[in-house]
Amino acid sequence: MCHAKDIAFQLIAQQDAAELLQFEVAERVWFEQHIEARAEHFYTPEGIRQHINECLALNTQGRMRPFIIQHRGAIVGCANLREIGNGYAKVGYRIAQHACGNGLAQKALHYLINEARGVYQLKELFAIVSLDNRASQRVLEKAGFEVIEKLPEYSVVAGRKLDCVVMKKTDV
């Protein structure tokens, strides 16, 4: 079980590269069952460093807020606000398989909502989720997100075209 006092959200940094790579490699099969696969290069030391540099550059521009989620000091997930601008942003999160079912995705989403409200004064948040990913849909629904659009065959996961939905939260 993940207790709130054991959970930390940290802005991603270059010193996280080795542990983030280890996390992403360990969770790759799990993630690729639910979301589109990342390019092969991502799963290399250079690929992770490049990813972190891109995230930090977007953060400096005020267009992204990328976090690692730690449980007792170990990375168990990532969460971000991205495409920040014009009063809205998209939310995203990736939680390790062993950490699912303990409310960690809900905690991550609430953290992002608080960042959106407190740091960026955003009015709306959006998420895109596959219809197959009921757990993530429930997390978003509990936080006040509602389906506003259907996206047929929007995503390719494990070689299958998946229908997705756009979900929106307006009372940020």
> What tens digit of pLDDT does each residue of 142-152 get?
999 999 999 99
* CATH number of 39's domain: 3.40.630.30
Give the range of the structural domain holding residue 71, as residue numbers without chain letter: 7-121
The whole-angstrom separation of Cα 148 and Cα 82 is: 19
The whole-angstrom separation of Cα 161 and Cα 90 is: 22
Strands 64-71, 74-85: pairing is antiparallel
Please report whether residue 126 resides in a domain: no
Please report whether residue 63 resides in a domain: yes
**What secondary structure does DSSP assign to 10-63, as a single string?**
EE--GGGHHHHHHHHHHHHHHHTTTSPPPPGGGGSHHHHHHHHHHHHHHHHTTS
- For residues 63 and 83, the answer to whether their CB atoms sit within 8 Å is yes
Please report whether residue 1 resides in a domain: no
Please report whether residue 138 resides in a domain: no
Would you state the pLDDT for residue 2? 47
Please report whether residue 30 resides in a domain: yes
More confident residue, 71 or 2: 71
> What tens digit of pLDDT does each residue of 26-80 get?
999 988 888 888 999 999 999 999 999 999 999 999 999 999 999 999 999 999 9
**Number of domains within the chain:** 1
Please report whether residue 15 resides in a domain: yes
DSSP 172: -
Which of helix, strand or coil describes residue 150? strand
- For residues 134 and 142, the answer to whether their CB atoms sit within 8 Å is no
Would you state the pLDDT for residue 33? 83
Please report whether residue 154 resides in a domain: no
Would you state the pLDDT for residue 4? 55
Cα-Cα-Cα-Cα torsion 129, 51, 27, 3, nearest 10 degrees, comes to -80
Would you state the pLDDT for residue 36? 84
Please report whether residue 169 resides in a domain: no
> What tens digit of pLDDT does each residue of 77-98 get?
999 999 999 999 999 999 998 8
Strand-pairing partners, residue 164, are 130, 151
Predicted TM-score of the model (pTM): 0.91
Any residues with CB less than 8 A from the CB of 72 and at least 6 apart, and which?
Answer: 6
H helix intervals, 61-102:
none
The whole-angstrom separation of Cα 38 and Cα 40 is: 6
Would you state the pLDDT for residue 1? 42
